Amino acid sequence: MSWDDVRVAIVEACHRLETGGLVAGSSGNVSVRLPAEGDRALFAITPSGVRYRVLRPEQIVIIDAKGEAVEGEGKPSTEKLAHLTAYRTRADVHACIHTHSIYAGALALANVELPPVIDEMVVALGGAVKVADYHIPATQDLADKAIEALGLCQAVLLRNHGALGVGRDLDEALAVVEMLERSSRIYYLARLLGEVQPLPANVSEMEAKFFRIQHGLPLEG
């Protein structure tokens, strides 16, 4: 895909996120890893402070591995460090989405980990979704704690902040944050009804292993 194609895809993803209630206004951010140019790693990321309803493809910013803008009308997202740290840490990650969705956000605010409660969640997300320790937004400390808690899964809750989902491409990252919100909602409602019964350990372990094989990730760690 060309840079222009990626920019259009990111804008379309932002509209899908807003329609799905996973972001509002200009909250959250989306990025995609671009094909490297020689030794230079490049990424496309949403601009800071631009409402999704008026976001234009030309405002999507191309940045390098240091977060410096290479091309684009806007300023790169203030959360670019979390995205860049994910890309640097996980070679399998080619898209990142940071959301401010309601139910995942509620778990993050309560510092409650999302256990493996439904089969499709484990297959899509890789297992339990941890809560990263709180740090001031837009800092390397936040980025480091977020990616540490992410581990080899596809999503992490950011305490008092929101959530981060990753994927092998933009479509998968979208599916991840949508599954995270759906699973968080199911878990939240189930807790209102009584004691939640997570998946049997042997089942969640088997499904997590299947997830890692599918993603080419180490089976341990």
Q: Determine the residue type at 159.
A: R
- 12 belongs to the catalytic site: no
Best CA proximity match to 127, nearest among 18, 67, 208: 208
**Alpha helices, H only, the chain:** 3-19, 80-89, 102-110, 119-125, 140-150, 170-193, 201-215
> What's the token pair of residue 196?
């939640």
Q: Single out the catalytic residue among 12, 68, 79, 205.
A: 79
> What's the token pair of residue 204?
């969640």
CA 185 and chain centroid, separation: 17
> What's the token pair of residue 28?
């959250």
In this structure, the strands spanning 95-99 and 61-64 are unpaired
In the 8-state DSSP scheme, what is residue 129?
Answer: B
In the 8-state DSSP scheme, what is residue 92?
Answer: T
Dihedral sign (CA 140, 145, 151, 156): negative
Catalytically active residues, by annotation: 79
